[in-house]
Amino acid sequence: MKFFQEAIAVVGGVIGWLVGGWSVLLTVLLILNALDFFSGMAANWGDISSKKGYQGIVKKGMMWVWIVVANLIYIVLEFQNLNFGVVIPNAVATMFIINEVISLGENSIKLGIDIPEPIQKGLALFNTKKGEGK
């Protein structure tokens, strides 16, 4: 049992160092990751496949890879005595939080939840691809 506790402590310490310490932004992102995953499953209930589920999990994992990359950039900048680097991990986490909120909105619409018109228009802006609508 003691080995298990020590292993958990080591893994937690390594993860904490990689992401730059646990913050409110990371807590919010983790919760939104879970909510988006489950709302995506609900919104696509008739079309659920293991391939889509696997792709969703990989996409969530890549978000966390970018959180680690942003923290490593921060560490390098701090080592160079450039103290503005903390903006980078926070900006990356905030960007992914916004991405998850948009996805939750899209899943809500698929589930038939009445989303206010201004929010639907905002979601549509994020979904327009470059070159469309010109």
Q: Find all residues with CB under 8 Å of 86, minimum gap 6, and list them.
A: 74, 78
- E runs forming strands in 1-134: none
Helix (H, G, I), strand (E, B) or coil at 126: helix
Q: Model's pTM, two decimal places? A: 0.79
DSSP 21: S
Side-chain-side CA neighbours of residue 104 (13 Å) = 13
What digits encode the pLDDT tens for the residues 1-10?
888 889 999 9
The CA–CA distances, whole Å, from 75 to 48, 81, 91, 115 equal 40, 10, 15, 41
Inter-residue contact 85 to 71 (CB < 8 Å): no
Domain boundaries, the chain: 21-127
What digits encode the pLDDT tens for the residues 22-61?
889 999 999 999 999 899 888 888 777 777 778 888 999 9
